[in-house]
Amino acid sequence: MEHRIKERFWEIDFLRGIAIIMMVIYHLLYNLYYFAQYPIQVYTGFWMYFARITANTFIFLVGVSLSISFSRKGTHFFLKYFRRGVIIFSWGLIITLVTWFFLREGYVIFGILHLIGISIILAYPFLKMRFWNLPLGLLCILAGIYLKGVEVNFSWLLWLGLRPPHFYTVDYFPLLPWFGVVLLGIFFGNLLYPNYVRKFYLKDFSFFLPIKLLCFLGQHSLLIYLLHQPLIIVLINLIGISKIPLF
């Protein structure tokens, strides 16, 4: 069943809103572990899978959103995607600078904003594809899994997924495998929302206050991402539980 939408697909914003809440929760726990040295197992068990589900949801929705945006009339111009990608990648560079200044060891080199910015630009030729994004996405994921076990003696291909021994960063999302998740998002976006039309029936629950709030958060995910980490870190320092004071 086709269901035509005039503006936004509320369910995409809703899912992104859930992911942003999950991200804030995980980063709160991670900052308690890193700065206050609380014994929270952020790298293993439940919270490791929690973080992976959060990241996969965000990046998958990047692909879905790109396919929906591309399907709108008058939005096929590459410059639009190039500009958007450069802006997000630039925010990633700012995070690299800030984390280098405050952390030094483990500073962000190619984090999630770097990935999203580059992916928006690289994804443009794939937006017209239908079936091929599925095998190509799976191939990128498999390549990334393989590269995870490969060590090299240089660091200039970190963005791709090749790492030197003992490489460490607090946020790392190389193109392989993560661009594959974007391609899967594009595939399912084209499948479920072709020509800016929802191909399945979904009752509109967006008027319920909790769902409306999550949709609002999903629409402002970049701003929340940029603000929540410094706010959490400042709060941890202000209440005096940080064992790595920043000021």
- DSSP for 102-126, please give it: HTSTT--SS-HHHHHHHHHHHTGGG
| Residue the block writes with tokens 């005039």 | 6
Virtual torsion, Cα 160, 165, 166, 169, nearest 10 deg: -10
Q: Does residue 164 have a cis peptide bond before it, meaning omega lies within 30 degrees of 0?
A: no
Query: Taking the CB of residue 188, how many other CB atoms lie within 10 A of it?
Result: 17
- If 0-12 CB within 10 Å is exposed, 13-18 middle and 19+ buried, where does residue 191 land? middle
| Residue the block writes with tokens 């929302």 | 193
Cβ–Cβ under 8 Å, residues 115 and 173 = yes
Give CA–CA dist 14/175, Å, rounded. 26
Give CA–CA dist 96/91, Å, rounded. 9
- 74 torsion bin: left (phi>0), alpha (psi -120 to 50), beta (else): left
Query: Taking the CB of residue 195, how many other CB atoms lie within 10 A of it?
Result: 11
Token representation of residue 227: 């603000």
* pLDDT tens-place values along the chain, 247 residues long: 444 445 789 999 999 999 999 999 999 999 999 888 889 999 999 999 999 999 999 999 999 999 999 988 656 789 999 999 999 999 999 999 999 988 888 899 999 999 999 999 999 999 988 899 999 999 999 999 999 989 999 999 999 999 999 899 999 999 999 999 999 999 999 999 999 999 999 999 999 999 999 999 999 999 999 999 989 988 988 887 877 666 5
Give CA–CA dist 168/176, Å, rounded. 17
Q: In this structure, what are the phi and psi dihedrals at residue 229, rounded to the nearest 5 degrees?
A: -65, -55
pTM value is 0.92
Cβ–Cβ under 8 Å, residues 112 and 171 = yes
pLDDT at residue 5, as a whole number: 44
Give CA–CA dist 20/58, Å, rounded. 8
